[in-house]
Structure 1
C-alpha cells in the first residue's frame, strides 16, 4: 500500500515537473512559444504584457500568452518591449513602419493612431472582427479605429476617462453644471475645504482634463486636415468660454490658486487623503487608488459622477487607451495579430489589470466590471472623446498648458493668452 502511494506521488511530481518545464519552454523573456515553431510573429508591446513591473500582473499576462500560443502551436511570438518614453517609442515605430521595418504586431497608443492611418502603414483588421463586435464598441472607440473608408485599422482594447470625485459628507449631491460645481466648491470652503482642485500645471493631464469643458461646448482643436482651428470663429468663442469658466473658479475662490502647481494625479489623491478637499477632477483609475489609500470609513465617503457641463445635457470627458495593430503585409501574420488582440487583450487583459473595456457588453461579462462603480464609468464613456491624432496636437497641448498658467495666475487675459497660444501653434504647424 505504502509503495503504491509513493509511486503515485512520484508520478505526480514527475508530471508536474514536465508541465512546468513545458510552460517554461513556451515562455522565455523574449519569446512565447516553442523555439522550433515554424512560424514567427514579431510583437512589440508596452508593460501591458509579461514585462509588467508588478509580478502578479506579469504572471497573469504570462499565463494568458501561454494559453494563447497553445491554441496556435505552429507559431512563436518574438517579444519586444517599449521603454517608458512612449512618445519617442511611438514616433520611432512610425518611422520604422514608413520604411517597412516595423514589427509585425504592436501596441499603438490611441492618441497617435490616426498618424499611423494617415501614413497608410496599418493592415486591415476588418475581416477578423464582426460587425456586431464593432457596433458594441463605444462610439469614440469605433470612430478611432476606422479610417475614412470604414476599414478597421487596429483594435482598441482598453480605455480610461475623467470624472468628478466628491466627498459625499461635504457635497451630498452630484453637481450637474458648471454653476453647480462652483456653488458646491464654495460651500465646501465654508466647511474648511479648499474648493475644487484639478491639474492646471505644465502637464499633459492639465490640457486633457480641461478639454472636457471645451468639447462639451462642441469645440474642435483641428479640422479634418489636422490644421489648428481652436483660435478661429465659433471655436474661439467656445474656447474662451471654457477658459473663462476655469478662471472664474480661481478668481472666486471656488478653486485655489495652487491648481497652477498641480501636475500629477497623485497630488489629487494626496489632498483627498489629507482631507483638504472634497472635490477634484481625476481619472477613473483613482477610485481603486483611493480605496487602497484610505481606511474603509473614509473611502466610503467618496464617490464620483460625470464631469459637469455648461448645461446638464452637454457633457464630455477625455478618454485614452491602447490599441493592437499590425504592420505586416503577410495575411497570416495580420490574422495572428488580430487573434492576439481578440484572445489576450479583448476582455482577459481588461479583467487582469482592471482596465476599462471598450465594448459595452464586456462590462457584464466580467464580474470585476459589474460593480456599481464600473457601471457608472461605462455610462460616462458614452460621452467620451479622444485627443485628435494630428501631428500638431503635442504643440497644441504645450501651448494650452502655458496659456492655462498665464490665465489662472492673472498674467494675461483669456483672449490675450488664447491669441498667443494659437499664434505659436500656427507657427509650429507651418514648420511641420
Structure 2
C-alpha cells in the first residue's frame, strides 16, 4: 500500500507539473499567439486568414482546434502569429524584400504565384528532410514542379489549390451559360429582374488577373514563352489577349456588369451581394461555395449553384488553379523543422478538410469524405481544364500590369489596344531588368 501511495503521489505531482501545458483553448490560441507565452521556443508565423482568424466562424473554430491540438503536442513551443492584410501582392512583395535582407519571419504563407521569385532569390529553406517521398510523389505534377528547386530539393509545401467557376442564382439564371455571349445575355437578363449584373474582380488585386486570364488561356494564349519572356503582346497571342480583354469591356459597356467592378478587389464582396440579393451571377473561387452555405439560410443557399467558366465557344474552356504554400526563412534548423511540422500536421489534409480547400495530393481526395461530395467531384473535374500561373520571375509584374490595364479598360479611360500595348511594354521592361 505504501508503494501505491508513493506512485499515486508521483502521478499527482506529474499532473501538477504538466498542468500549464494542458491549458484550455482560450490560453493556447489567442489573437497573436498559439501556445504558452512562457514556452522556451518561439517561432514567428506570418499567415493569411487560413487560420484561427478566418472571417467565417465555423472555419475559424475548426482552425482553432487544429492549432490547439498541434501545440499540445509541442508544449515547448509558442507561435507568434502575424496576420497579412488582404493586399496579397503588396504583402508578398514586402515578405520577399524582408527575406532578402534577413528580416523575414521564421515561417510564412507564400502565394504559389510568387513562389518562383522566392526560389530564385535563394531565401527559402529546404523542407526535403521533413516530407516522405510517397507524400511528395502524390502531389499533382504542376504542384510538385512548383515547390521543387533546380537542385531537386523541396522548398515549400503547397497545401491547397483552387479554381474559378461561375456562380449563379438558379431562380434568376436557370441555365448555365456556356459561352461568353450566353453570359452577357444572362447578365442583361438579371439586370432586367432588378439585379446589378455579373460581378467579378476588376480592381488592383491579383484576383483580377487570375479570374480574367482564363478567358485568354481558353483560346490557347500564353503569357510567357518557355524561357519566361512575355509574349502576350505579340502576334496571335496579342489578338487572343485583346479579344479576352474586350469581352470584359463589353460586359461593362453593355450593362451586363456594373461599372463598380473596376473597384472590386475582394471575393467577400460577392458573398455580401449574394446575401443581400443584389446579384445573381459572379466569378468566384471554389471555396466560396462553403462560405455561401455558412452565410445564407438554407432556402437562399438552395437557389445557388456553380458551373465551369464560359469560353468564347462551348468547347474552349479554362480556369485558373492557384493556392497557398507554407515556407521557412529561418537560419535555425529547429525552426525550419517546426515550420515544416505546421505545414505537414495542420495544413496537409486537416486544413483542407476544415476550410474545404482542394488538396494538392491526389490520395487525399479519397481520405476525406468532404472531397467525395458531388460538388467537390465537379470541382475536381473542372480542374482537368485548370492552368496554373506561369512559374516565371516576371509573372508578378505581368499581373500588376494587367490589373492597371483592366482599370483603364473597364473605366473607358483608354482604348483596349493602347492599354494592352502599355501593359506589354511595361512587362518587357520588367523582364529585361530581371534577366
Interval containing the TM-score (normalised by the shorter chain): 0.7 to 0.9
Q: 1 CA distance for matches of 2:90 and 2:259?
A: 33
Residue 426 of structure 2 corresponds to which residue in structure 1?
424
Cα distance 1:168–1:31, how it changes in 2: closer, same or farther (>3 A)? closer
Which stretch shows the higher mean deviation, 88-97 or 167-176? 88-97
Q: 2:165 aligns with which of 163, 166, 185?
A: 163
Sort the Cα spacing of 1:343 and 1:267 in 2 relative to 1 into closer, same or farther, 3 A: closer
* Equivalent position SS for 2:306: strand
1:284-337 C-alpha deviation (Å, 9 max, x unpaired): 233233334433222211100111223444332233332122335666654443
**Rounded Cα–Cα distance in structure 2 between residues aligned with 1:322 and 1:105:** 13
Contact 2:21 2:36 survives alignment (8 Å): no
Secondary structure in 2 matching 1:42: strand
Partner residue, 1:79: 80
Shift in Å, 1:415:
1.7
Structure 1: unaligned runs, 5 residues or longer: 1-12
SS at match of 1:310: coil
Corresponding residue of 1:7? none
Q: Distance in 2 between the 1:366 and 1:136 partners?
A: 15
Q: CA deviation at 1:155?
A: 0.5
Q: What is the rounded CA distance, in whole Å, between the counterparts of 1:59 and 1:320 in structure 2?
A: 25
Name the CA shift for 1:72/1:219 in 2 (closer, same or farther; >3 Å). same
After TM superposition, the structure 1 = structure 2 runs for residues 4-403 of structure 1, keeping only pairs within 5 Å, are 21-24=20-23, 27=28, 30=33, 32=35, 40=41, 42-46=43-47, 47-49=49-51, 60-61=62-63, 63-69=65-71, 71=73, 76-77=77-78, 79-84=80-85, 87=89, 89-100=91-102, 102-148=104-150, 150-189=152-191, 191=193, 193-224=195-226, 226-328=228-330, 334-388=336-390, 390=392, 392-403=394-405
* TM-score, scaled relative to structure 1: 0.80
C-alpha deviations, 1:343-380, integer Å up to 9, x for none? Answer: 12111222233333222333332334443323322332
Bigger mean CA deviation after superposition, 389-398 or 282-291? 389-398
1:36-82 Cα deviation digits (max 9, x unpaired): 76xx5634231444566778766654543454355557x63553524
**How large is the RMSD of aligned CA atoms in angstroms?**
3.8
Decide whether the 8 Å contact of 1:23 with 1:66 is kept in 2: no
Secondary structure of the equivalent of 2:125? coil
Q: Deviations over 1:196-222 (max 9, x none)?
A: 332224443322211111122232333
Instruction: Mark the CA change 1:192 to 1:133 in structure 2 (over 3 Å): closer, same or farther.
Output: same
